[in-house]
Amino acid sequence: MVGDSSPSRPLKTVETAIDIVDAIQRSDGSDVQELAREFDLAQSTVHGYVKTLENRGYLTVDDGEYHVGLEFLNKGGHARKRKREYDFIIGKLDDLAEQTGERVQFIVEENGRGYYIHTSIGENAVHVDAHIGKKIHLHASSAGKAILATLPEERVHQILDRWGMPEYTQHTVTDREELFDELQSIREMGYATSEQESITGLRAVGAPIQPYESNPIGAISFSGPAHRLTGDWYDEEVPNLVLGVANEIELDLKYQ
C-alpha cells in the first residue's frame, strides 16, 4: 500500500541483482559460469539476471564476459547534477587547483559513505584513483573526517557500526576512541588532516561545506605528496587556503 509506514523487508531479487553488478565491477568483468559459482546459483538463473540488466543498459557483454554498462554513468551524472550547489563548488575547486598546482576534491556523504563528486587537477598534481563516484570510508580521509566532525555523535557511531574502520595504510586510524578525540580537535580547528591515512605518501587537508544549520553539503580537500606538503606550507598555509575557500563557498551559498 502506498504510504504504508510499516517496516519493509529488502527484496532478495533486487539485492541479488545489485550483488551481481558489484561482483562484476570488482572483477572487472565476469561470465555467467563465474557468477553462478560465486553466488551458488543455477546458470539459467544468473543468465536471467544479467540479460535483464543488459537489456536495460546496466551491463554490457563483450566476448561472453559481462561488464558494468554506461547506464550507470547516465544515472550518476543525474545524481551529480541534481543539487545546484555542486556546480558552484566545483568552480571554486578548479580555481584553487590552478592556483596551487595540486589536487583538490569535493566529497559528499550519503548513507554513511563518502563519494567523490569532483576532482580538480593542478599541473603538478599526483595521479591517484579518485574518479568521480568513487566510494570511500569517511574515517580514512581528511574530507571524510571533516564531515564526521559536523555530525551528531550518535550518527557517527551508526556509520562506524555499519561500515567499520578498515585499515587502508599503516597510518589509518582504526581505534574509535582515537577517532573521536581527533574529531573534537577538528571541530576546534575547523579543518581535518590526513597523514597518509588513505594512500601511502599522500597528505591532505579537508574542511566541511556547511552553509546552513543542517548537515554539511559535503567537504573539500587539498592533497599532495608528503614530500611537498611539509613545514609551514602544510601546517599553516594550506589549512588557511582550504578554510578560506570553504568559507567563501558557504557565504556565497547562504546569501545568494
Interatomic CA distance for residues 87 and 160, integer angstroms: 30
C-alpha closest to that of 118 among 136, 138, 101, 104: 104
What is the model's pLDDT at position 133? 87
With cut-offs at 50, 70 and 90, classify the pLDDT of residue 106: very high
What is the model's pLDDT at position 127? 85
Do the Cβ atoms of 124 and 187 come closer than 8 Å? no
Domain 12-69: which CATH class? Answer: mainly alpha
For 108-117, what is each residue's pLDDT tens digit?
A: 999 999 999 9
With cut-offs at 50, 70 and 90, classify the pLDDT of residue 243: very high
Q: Which of 2-6, 53-57, 216-220 has the weakest average pLDDT?
A: 2-6
Helix intervals (H) in the chain: 12-27, 32-39, 43-55, 71-81, 85-100, 142-148, 153-163, 176-189, 231-232, 238-255
What is the model's pLDDT at position 176? 97
Total residues found in the chain within this entry: 256
**Averaged over 145-166, what is the pLDDT?**
97
Interatomic CA distance for residues 172 and 30, integer angstroms: 32
Is the pLDDT at 57 greater than 90? The verdict is yes
Joined together, the cell numbers standing for residue 29 give: 568483468
Q: How far apart are the first and last CA of the chain?
A: 41
Mean pLDDT of the chain: 92
**Averaged over 213-238, what is the pLDDT?**
94
Is the pLDDT at 7 greater than 80? The verdict is no
What are the Cα distances from residue 179, in Å, to 204, 205, 209, 220? 17, 16, 20, 19
Domain limits, CATH 3.30.450.40, in the chain: 77-255
According to DSSP, the β-strands at 135-136 and 113-121 are: antiparallel
CATH architecture classification, 77-255 = 2-Layer Sandwich (3.30)
Domain limits, CATH 1.10.10.10, in the chain: 12-69
Interatomic CA distance for residues 77 and 81, integer angstroms: 6
What is the model's pLDDT at position 83? 74
Prediction pTM value? 0.82
For 181-215, what is each residue's pLDDT tens digit?
A: 999 999 999 999 999 999 999 999 999 999 888 88
**Averaged over 143-169, what is the pLDDT?**
97
Do the Cβ atoms of 117 and 86 come closer than 8 Å? yes
With cut-offs at 50, 70 and 90, classify the pLDDT of residue 125: very high
Do the Cβ atoms of 250 and 210 come closer than 8 Å? yes
